[in-house]
């Protein structure tokens, strides 16, 4: 990864300079300047949400504070800390988070800002573990947002539009073990017809497909060992899936050594909830990503719509993943106000062809569809913002935190911010 590119290499930042502050005082000085600003964490966004012609602030140099407060049931984390590093420290102290995304390499603050998630019918996005966060705004003010703050719902998924997150407070619980199993092969029509049963059969379920074969090539189930036997072991074979005969990588042909341990062997939550091991790079970055979130009731229609484009999707696709997310009340969360089914796509690195295909997909997906803020999509901005009831409230909060619009880049301006 070049110092001026994102993780995938599909975007070269227009920034005049990239800075890496190592303290809050240094960060405050940078924010006090006159030029446009944006913030990057692990650079895992695929669109221009973090781009700027001015100064790009990298958060990985900020103090890597991890402070467990057992009495309060929280961990306080510095803005640049990665989930994988946080998980290791929590394991060492006997604690856990309720959920993790598939990649442990992403930063806590960056993932929260864009509404990133894991999977599970009863599990919310990573943002729902946030109990409080502290943001240093371009006005030089430290704003602390706790759950009892009326603006808390707008400050969590904030698109980097309010300032730089310098601390996040996350809920924790006692450490637990997870059992991960992978099953091969399930008809997509069975997935559509029995989706509720399938996703309820384990703590976390991921369904992978190429959309061209009519099959779900792999089903990954992750089940808390303290929750008893996973129903997936009986349900999925009955529906036609077969327990995998060895370790799998989500992308067919990928190196399974990068994947977290499978085969029904119980292990720490930190080593099973992600799909990929922290010590491995899950891919070479030669990919693009999109993700769409639909109201759970619209999931069968979304599956049918995507199957109708299977012949167009398959040649550009490395793999697609279906996951579920519990609804929440965070203003700009992709799961706000409803239980949600997420359709993720990892594409080959042909951006013009992918973007043309996205326009076709968006034309047939249900009206409830929201895109992932940090990935590729082609919707008209007004069509997206109208799906968030508190959008105008968020715009007012943005204006309060950044009245000089230092953090408003072209991406945010197109959204009306």
Please check the confidence at residue 329 and state whether its pLDDT lies above 70: yes
Give the model's confidence band at 271: pLDDT under 50 very low, under 70 low, under 90 confident, else very high. very high
Task: Report the mean per-residue pLDDT for the chain.
Answer: 95
Reported as a single tens digit per residue, the pLDDT across 349-380 is: 999 999 999 999 999 999 999 999 999 999 99
What is the torsional sign of CA 155, 158, 163, 164? positive
* Biggest distance spanned by C-alpha atoms of the chain: 63
Contact 253, 283 (CB under 8 A): no
Take residue 178 and report the two structure tokens written for it. Answer: 């997870």
Per-residue CA distances from 125 to 16, 25, 70, 74, 197 (Å)? 34, 31, 23, 17, 21
Contact 302, 23 (CB under 8 A): no
pLDDT at 1: 41
CA atoms within 13 A on the CB side of 279: 5
What DSSP designation does 122 have?
A: T
Reported as a single tens digit per residue, the pLDDT across 77-117 is: 998 999 999 999 999 999 999 999 988 889 999 999 999 99
Reported as a single tens digit per residue, the pLDDT across 110-165 is: 999 999 999 999 999 999 999 999 999 999 999 999 999 999 999 999 999 999 99
Domains in the chain, start-ordered, CATH in brackets? 17-60 (no CATH), 62-175 (3.30.465.10), 177-283 (3.30.70.2530)
Instruction: State the first-to-last Cα distance of the chain, in angstroms, to the nearest integer.
Output: 30
Give the model's confidence band at 282: pLDDT under 50 very low, under 70 low, under 90 confident, else very high. low
């Amino acid at each position: 990864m070049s110092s001026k590119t994102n993780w995938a290499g599909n975007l070269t930042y227009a920034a005049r300079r990239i800075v890496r502050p190592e303290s809050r005082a240094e960060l405050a000085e940078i924010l006090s300047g006159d030029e446009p600003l944006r913030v990057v964490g692990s650079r895992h966004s695929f669109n221009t949400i973090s781009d700027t012609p001015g100064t790009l602030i990298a958060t990985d140099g900020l103090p890597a504070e991890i402070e467990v407060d057992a009495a309060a049931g929280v961990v306080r984390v510095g803005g640049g800390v990665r989930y994988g590093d946080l998980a290791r420290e929590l394991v060492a102290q006997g604690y856990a988070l309720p959920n993790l995304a598939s990649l442990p390499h992403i930063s806590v603050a960056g993932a929260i800002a864009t509404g990133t998630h894991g999977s599970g019918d009863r599990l919310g996005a990573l943002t729902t573990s946030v109990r409080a966060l502290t943001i240093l705004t371009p006005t030089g003010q430290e704003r602390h947002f706790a759950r009892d703050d009326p603006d808390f719902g707008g400050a969590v998924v904030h698109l980097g539009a309010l300032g730089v997150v310098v601390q996040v407070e996350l809920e924790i619980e006692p450490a637990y073990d997870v059992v991960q199993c992978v099953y091969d092969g399930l008809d997509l029509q069975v997935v559509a017809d029995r989706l509720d049963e399938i996703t309820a059969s384990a703590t976390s379920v991921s369904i992978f497909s190429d959309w061209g074969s009519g099959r779900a090539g792999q089903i990954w189930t992750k089940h808390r060992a303290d929750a008893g036997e996973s129903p997936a072991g009986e349900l999925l074979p009955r529906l036609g899936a077969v327990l995998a005969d060895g370790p799998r990588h989500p992308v067919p042909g990928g190196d399974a050594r990068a994947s977290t341990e499978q085969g029904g062997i119980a292990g720490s939550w930190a080593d099973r909830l992600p799909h990929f091991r922290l010590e491995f790079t899950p891919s070479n970055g030669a990919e693009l990503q999109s993700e769409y979130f639909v109201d759970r009731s619209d999931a069968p229609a979304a599956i049918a719509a995507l199957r109708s484009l299977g012949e167009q999707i398959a040649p550009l696709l490395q793999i697609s993943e279906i996951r579920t997310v519990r609804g929440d009340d965070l203003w700009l969360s992709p799961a706000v106000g409803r239980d949600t089914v997420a359709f993720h796509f990892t594409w080959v690195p042909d951006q013009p062809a992918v973007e043309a295909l996205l326009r076709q997909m968006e034309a047939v997906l249900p009206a409830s569809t929201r895109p992932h803020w940090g990935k590729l999509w082609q919707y008209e901005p007004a069509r997206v913002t109208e799906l968030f009831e508190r959008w105008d409230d968020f715009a007012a909060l943005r204006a309060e935190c950044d009245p000089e619009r230092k953090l408003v880049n072209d991406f945010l301006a197109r959204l009306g911010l």
